Amino acid sequence: TQRTLVLLKPDTVRRGLVGEVIGRVERKAGWAITALELRTLDRETLERHYGEHVGKPFYEPLVAFMSSGPVVALVVEGERVIEGVRQLAGPTDPIAAAPGSVRGDFGTIVRENLIHASDSPESAERELKIFFPGIA
């Protein structure tokens, strides 16, 4: 079994889509939400989380957006959950994302793409330590 870090980004919280997106995760067979927190992210946390993007042209606007309001951070555990939540989210660009995915159903803007999900087992363990340092 696997675990992954999911962030419901500030647009999801502002638009009242938290329940909609969490509901899709909850309804997947065998997955469980094992931690959940509403919090506003600071620049230091985002620099750790998005370290691979520091210096890219979209980095500063990304940090401004991600710190513009609270996010909901979740740990989700279950069968193939890392790949599974990425599929549920859809591709980074919401216009390229198929209807039926979170980004495809609700997004239009690359930056405001509603959800983050860890992209590999290594990313998941690294990101979980940033957001939930208390969990084993």
Q: Which residues are annotated as a binding site for ATP?
A: 9, 58, 86, 92, 103, 113
**Residue 116 a catalytic site member:** yes
Which of 40, 92, 108, 120 is close enough to bind ligand GTP by CB under 6 A? 92
- Binding flag, residue 62, ligand GTP (CB under 6 A): yes
- Binding flag, residue 113, ligand GTP (CB under 6 A): yes
Which of 18, 33, 35, 110 is close enough to bind ligand GTP by CB under 6 A? 110
Q: Provide the pairing of β-strand 71-78 with 2-8.
A: antiparallel
Which of 63, 117, 124, 128 is close enough to bind ligand GTP by CB under 6 A? 117
DSSP collapsed to 3 states, the chain? CEEEEEEECHHHHHCCCHHHHHHHHHCCCCCEEEEEEEECCCHHHHHHHCHHHCCCCCHHHHHHHHCCCCEEEEEEEECCHHHHHHHHHCCCCCCCCCECEHHHHHCCCCCCCCEEECCCHHHHHHHHHHHCCCCC
* Shortest Å, Cβ 119 to ligand GTP: 5
- Binding flag, residue 101, ligand GTP (CB under 6 A): no
Q: Give me the residues that bind ligand GTP (CB under 6 A), please.
A: 53, 58, 62, 92, 110-111, 113, 116-117, 119
* Positions marked active-site: 116
